[in-house]
Amino acid sequence: MIIPEPDKSPFTRDPAMLKGATLRTALKKSAMGFGFTIIGGDRPDEFLQVKNVLKDGPAAQDGKIAPGDVIVDINGTCVLGHTHAEVVQMFQLIPINQYVNMTLCRGYPLPEDSDDPVADLVNAPPLINGQLTTQGENMGSQDLKSGVVVLDHNGKPGHVLVNGRLNGPSQDLQDQRTSMASSGTSLPELVTVPLLKGPKGFGFAIADSAMGQKVKMILDSQWCPGLQKGDVIKEICHQNVQSLTHIQVVEVLKQFPVGAEVPLLVLRGGQ
């Protein structure tokens, strides 16, 4: 008696085993980022796929990629089996006006539960103190699902939902701030701090917090003049790092050579 095998997951880490048409494209990061959203990568056996191609963005103008396309390779690195956060970081670290070379595979449908509301937040409302606000009211993060990043807005990766928390471009904080007087807290402000990498690093330590990576202590202020304990890191060298883990932020800082001048955008106050 032959027992039929259960349906196997279509996922593979081997590009040669993919079923479908292979396509390649090179997109230039513009003031809209790359102009598409991605979904998936929440599990090690899940493809990362294009969710939406945003109107007038680089991807739409290029005309090659489409919803459902599986992201296979980014700038020569196979990303099959990579996590969502890892791929987000790869896109984040590409400067504006630079190209990303991608290999994709067309032939796999989007998952049935891919109608995620976050994927369509192209003109998303601003983030204030780590919460999504709409006309002054907070939107509960429990209504949103993780796994989508909008790579399209203001030249930076857009709103990223990680572990149930919506992280958005820090530019939104600069465009619209909210008074915290009613809660008795100070008005939050964005501050750019010039860092200089010394022989032992940038002279400060960071730790996880509810709002992201926070400056835990100042070790040597000559390398980070103006930085204060409690500052929350938003951007490193003009790249949004709000969706990155502690280890990933540490790795970003490590990549700069001794003597490098690195602008750091931090959120101060309102906590």
Domain membership flag for residue 49:
yes
Local structure of residue 66 (DSSP, 8 states): -
Q: Are residues 107 and 224 in the same domain?
A: no
Domain membership flag for residue 91:
yes
Higher pLDDT residue, 148 or 115? Answer: 115
pLDDT in tens, 128-184: 333 333 333 333 333 333 333 444 333 333 333 333 333 444 334 333 333 333 334
Q: Are residues 28 and 39 in the same domain?
A: yes
Q: Are residues 82 and 67 in the same domain?
A: yes
Tokens 């991605």 sit on residue:
38
Q: Are residues 150 and 191 in the same domain?
A: no
Q: Are residues 85 and 166 in the same domain?
A: yes
Tokens 């008696």 sit on residue:
1
Q: Are residues 135 and 43 in the same domain?
A: yes
CATH code of the domain in which 239 resides: 2.30.42.10
Contact 130, 136 (CB under 8 A): no
Owning domain of residue 209: 179-268
pLDDT in tens, 21-50: 999 999 998 766 788 888 888 888 899 999
Domain membership flag for residue 2:
no
Distance CA 117, CA 110 (A): 15
Q: Name, in order, each residue with C-beta under 8 angstroms of 54's C-beta and a sequence gap of 6 or more.
A: 32, 35, 36, 37, 60, 122, 150, 152
Domain membership flag for residue 1:
no
Provide the pLDDT confidence category of residue 234 given band limits of 50, 70 and 90: very high
Distances (CA, A) of 109 to 14, 68, 74: 18, 5, 21
Domain membership flag for residue 240:
yes
Domain count, the chain: 2
Give the end of a domain, one of 177, 195, 224: 177
Domain membership flag for residue 227:
yes
Give the end of a domain, one of 146, 177, 208: 177
What percent of the chain stands above pLDDT 70? 68
